[in-house]
Amino acid sequence: MKYKVRTVFAAVTIASLLCSCTQATAKGETTETATTTDTTTKTEVTSLDPAELFSDRDTAATYDESEAVSITLSTTKATSTDSSKVTISGSTVTIKEEGVYVLSGKLTSGQIIIDAEDTDKVQLVLNGVTINCDTSAAIYVRQADKVFVTLAKGTTNTLSNKKEFVAIDDNNIDGVIYAKDDLTINGSGTLTINAAYGSGVVGKDDLTINGSGTLTINAAYGSGVVGKDDLTITGGTYKITAAEHGFDGKDSIAIADGTFQVTAGKDGFHSENSDDATKGFVYISKGTYTITSQGDAFDSAAITQIDDGTFQIITGGGNTATLTEESASAKGIVAGGNLLLKKGTFTMDCADDAFHSNLNLTVKNGTYTIATGDDGFHADSATIVEDGTIKITTCYEGIEGETVLISAGNVNIVASDDGLNAAESGEDSEDEAMEGQQNPTANGEMPEFDATATPPEKPASDATTSATTSTTESTTESTTESTTTGTPPTGTPPTGTDGEMTGGHMGGGMGGGGMAVNENCNITIAGGKITLDTKGDSIDSNGNINMTGGELYISGAESGADSPLDSNGSVIVTGGVIVGGGSSGMFTGLSEDSTQGWAQFHLTASQTGTVTVKSGSTTILSYTPTKAYPTVLISSPLLKSGSTYTITMGTETQTFTMDGLSYTSGTATNSFGNRGQMNGTKPDRTTGQNGTQTTKS
């Protein structure tokens, strides 16, 4: 085995805006460096450097034909132009020395073996070959320093097996191409691999695939491509149908570019090294990915980093399917370590979480259209949204983490429970009550696997081979007219606020503050436009909620104990805009540390339609909730102590004067029947659709 070191650390700077004494920062494998300012924290998060992942030699696919040895295949035999370097025994061709070998013709039941010195580099050029080996690998690299399999330009090549593998030496051969040493597949030709048994390509050492060629693999019982060390792909077109994983790289998977169409009975892309926790990462520079998998689309035991790309993903049969096994995982993109999403376009339809990290999840930018049977974004530690367009059309909970920070972007969530949720892993009683089951109200079934070339004597696998995806156009925010659901306020917010807090209260948690405050849990909104349409708490924190900027529009639960803002600790608002309609639950107001005006209106009867707040003839706030609301909550820098405003809520209009920074009208009359109970099940809620916002310039 040849050893090499891949550098997997780069600095990622996260700007975390502070609210009072609370800040949202990433946890896990991080190195924090405090700055001299009181508003920014720089955090170095373990990340990946693409410059260290790909070598110039990997991308080369040239050869000197004048110095090459020609090997001609003819049904059951073969001939060579240099018998000193090549041994032929019937339909078995053995290459013994370093050099370039050009193969052409057909073997109906034969094998190409590379058995050279461990310092030799061998290039095998496939110049229009068809090779079938019934019970072993069509191409077998027994020993060499490195072997290059080059697909000659303009050629079509086919490799296959037909029966169960029969051992020919001490190696456990289990692929149509099987290499004990480093293997590179390159060139611009076409290669089709039909693996009736085992996997398509298996590299026991480093495996690299590059060039502009096309690789098609049908693996009826195994994986498409397996690299037992690092799996590196620099380009090309891939069409993979596999009963197990589409691509499996034990130490890592690193992709520079390419077009991928993957149907997998397990994971689409899988990287895991059970012997070394620092390995098993996935890096994507760019490319186009269409993945239908019964397991996770991307699954890494360590870091997953995506710099760019276009992704259409269906997992586990989609968001309406039910996972029948308690331990089943059908997530979109998963990282056992940090998950970093820099940019890209993602269309996700997942039975399980769309994006999941066992440490920290960071969204720096990109466009995300998500339908999921569980969470849209989940991190066991910090979930950070720095920018981007996020549209979650259906989910259980939208964005979840021990801490949640949103500093910019356009976030639109429809959830059957909470929109934003902060809880420690395993702390959420409703999640524990699920006992591993996702989407209990779904009625879908996982489709059956129907891979081609399945031997009749073995039972068919139960994984899927095909599904259709449709791209949903992402919502684009407009500064003059927007239909992204909900109406941002009009006018220009002033700088600063006037007056002192009077009558402010701590935000009630579950059971009216009866739940203990978890100081590790915080939700911070520092910017962006967030629209939430929820059946549970729109924002739910087992610790605190802080808002320093941005716009928040809420269509909350119509009745019950759920609230627009539910915190076991404090709800502090020092900036931004809030317009929310729904049940008040146990919410009794903003905390006294808030420095911005707010008002809450408990209506005598639920209303529907637009909520509009005017100062004289000037509209300062406007939003249309998607469903009936018994309570309205508003907050804005434009709400000033001593000033009088008119609020219209459907057909009801009230005039109110701010006495200090708070105003409350009416009495809450909600019941408490909708809350998920300890050791119970998720409430049976159906998702609605977002309302309509209108923004005036």
Q: Write down the pLDDT at residue 49.
A: 61
Alpha-carbon distance 455 to 459, whole Å? 8
Residue that the structure tokens 């073996």 belong to: 113
The answer, yes or no, to whether residue 686 has pLDDT greater than 80, is no
Q: Write down the pLDDT at residue 323.
A: 85
Q: Write down the pLDDT at residue 326.
A: 74
Alpha-carbon distance 639 to 643, whole Å? 7
For 211-243, b/e burial (b = at least 16 CB within 10 A) is bebbbbbbbbbbbbbbbbbbbbbbbbbbbbbbb
Alpha-carbon distance 218 to 193, whole Å? 6
Q: 148: which residues sit within 8 A by CB, 6+ positions away?
A: 121, 122, 123, 124, 184, 185, 186
Q: How much is the mean pLDDT over the chain?
A: 80
Q: Write down the pLDDT at residue 62.
A: 79
Q: Is 487 exposed, middle or buried (0-12, 13-18, 19+ CB in 10 A)?
A: buried
Alpha-carbon distance 505 to 664, whole Å? 11
CB 501 within 8 A of CB 662: yes
Q: What is the mean pLDDT of residues 222-226?
A: 98
Alpha-carbon distance 136 to 138, whole Å? 6
Q: What is the pLDDT of residues 454-510, one digit of tens each?
A: 333 433 333 332 323 333 333 333 333 333 333 333 333 333 333 333 333 333 333
Hey, CA dihedral for 579, 582, 585, 588, is it positive or negative?
Answer: positive
Residue that the structure tokens 């169960």 belong to: 164
Q: C-alpha dihedral over 340, 345, 350, 352, to 10 degrees?
A: 20
Q: Under DSSP, is residue 45 helix (H, G, I), strand (E, B) or coil?
A: strand
Q: Strand 618-623: give its sheet, edge to edge.
A: 618-623, 611-615, 644-649, 652-657
Top-confidence residue, 605 or 677: 605
Alpha-carbon distance 183 to 281, whole Å? 20
Token output for 92: 């078995």
pTM of the model: 0.81
Of 378, 363, 375, 368, whose CA–CA distance to 408 is shortest?
363
Q: Under DSSP, is residue 236 helix (H, G, I), strand (E, B) or coil?
A: coil
Half-sphere exposure of 106 (CA within 13 A, CB side): 5
Q: Write down the pLDDT at residue 669.
A: 59
Alpha-carbon distance 311 to 666, whole Å? 49
DSSP codes joined into one string, 410-450:
EEEEEESS-SEEE--TTT-HHHHHHTT---TT--B-PPPP-
Of 51, 63, 46, whose CA–CA distance to 6 is shortest?
51
Alpha-carbon distance 253 to 225, whole Å? 11
Alpha-carbon distance 568 to 506, whole Å? 9
Confidence of residue 55 (pLDDT cuts 50, 70, 90): low
Query: How many degrees, rounded to 5, is the angle at CA 450 between CA 444 and CA 455?
Result: 150
Amino acid in position 277? A
**pLDDT-wise least confident of 24-38, 390-404, 412-426:** 24-38
Q: What is the pLDDT of residues 614-658, one digit of tens each?
A: 999 999 999 999 999 999 999 999 999 999 999 999 999 999 999
Q: What is the pLDDT of residues 368-384, one digit of tens each?
A: 999 999 999 999 999 99
**pLDDT-wise least confident of 50-59, 345-354, 527-536, 678-687:** 678-687
Q: Write down the pLDDT at residue 57.
A: 62
The answer, yes or no, to whether residue 688 has pLDDT greater than 80, is no
CB 166 within 8 A of CB 195: no
The answer, yes or no, to whether residue 280 has pLDDT greater than 80, is yes
**pLDDT-wise least confident of 74-78, 442-446, 592-596, 690-694:** 442-446
Of 234, 253, 246, whose CA–CA distance to 297 is shortest?
246
The answer, yes or no, to whether residue 60 has pLDDT greater than 80, is no
C-alpha distance from residue 438 to each of 241, 372, 434, 449, 638 (Å): 26, 10, 7, 21, 43
DSSP codes joined into one string, 444-475:
B-PPPP--TT--TTSPPP---------PPPPP
Using alpha carbons only, how large is the chain's radius of gyration in Å?
29
CB 607 within 8 A of CB 649: yes
**pLDDT-wise least confident of 147-156, 187-196, 476-485, 658-667:** 476-485
Alpha-carbon distance 243 to 241, whole Å? 7
If one counts every other C-beta atom within 10 angstroms of the C-beta of residue 441, the result is: 15
Q: What is the pLDDT of residues 151-169, one digit of tens each?
A: 999 999 999 999 999 999 9
Q: What is the pLDDT of residues 84-133, one digit of tens each?
A: 999 999 999 999 999 999 999 999 999 999 999 999 999 999 999 999 99
Biggest alpha carbon–alpha carbon distance for the chain: 100
Percent of the chain with pLDDT over 90: 68
Q: Write down the pLDDT at residue 452.
A: 38
Alpha-carbon distance 451 to 465, whole Å? 6
Q: 3: which residues sit within 8 A by CB, 6+ positions away?
A: none
C-alpha distance from residue 679 to each of 231, 279, 434, 521, 676 (Å): 43, 37, 8, 22, 9
Token output for 502: 């009077």
C-alpha distance from residue 662 to each of 564, 634, 639, 643 (Å): 17, 10, 9, 11
Q: Under DSSP, is residue 56 helix (H, G, I), strand (E, B) or coil?
A: helix
